[in-house]
Amino acid sequence: MSAPAMPLTERTTCSQARAETSTAVLPLCEGMPYHQARRLHEDALLIASELAANALRHGAGITRFSACVHEHALVIQVSDHSTRHPHLLPHDPVMPDGFGWLMVRRLARSVSIEQHTGGKTIIAVLAAAPSS
């Protein structure tokens, strides 16, 4: 699946990313059983929050953010200034972080990373009907 073109969103925060994602996912939730719609909505918010937070924390800021329905799936795209790819950290029981990338990869149907001049874009795709 090719991802849709990303609109330019300036100075996106985690809260703005969650709000845009919440609005974008609603059409996919229509007609779903409540538990599936809730799970899709919650998964989308977690992914958007994690990708936005990582772009702010590790990527020198968000350069673009988009959450939209494309081909019956929710596509979340976050661009930042860094060319460094996210990676899994070894488990450390005394560290409170380091689980975000694993969470994104487990919740999304697919995750890809596109390099471009001045940084990268992470694209997470969520299925319209998550498994229960």
Question: Could you tell me the residue ranges of all domains in the chain?
Answer: 14-83+97-127
How confident is the model over 54-90, as pLDDT tens digits? Answer: 998 888 889 999 999 988 899 999 999 999 988 777 7
**Taking a C-beta distance cutoff of 8 angstroms, is the pair 19, 92 a contact?**
no
The fold adopted by the segment(s) 14-83+97-127 is: Heat Shock Protein 90 (3.30.565)
For residue 48, what are its two tokens? 């958007």
How confident is the model over 99-111, as pLDDT tens digits? Answer: 788 899 999 999 9
pLDDT at 119: 94
Q: Is the pTM of this model over 0.85?
A: no
Strand partners, 77: 66, 123
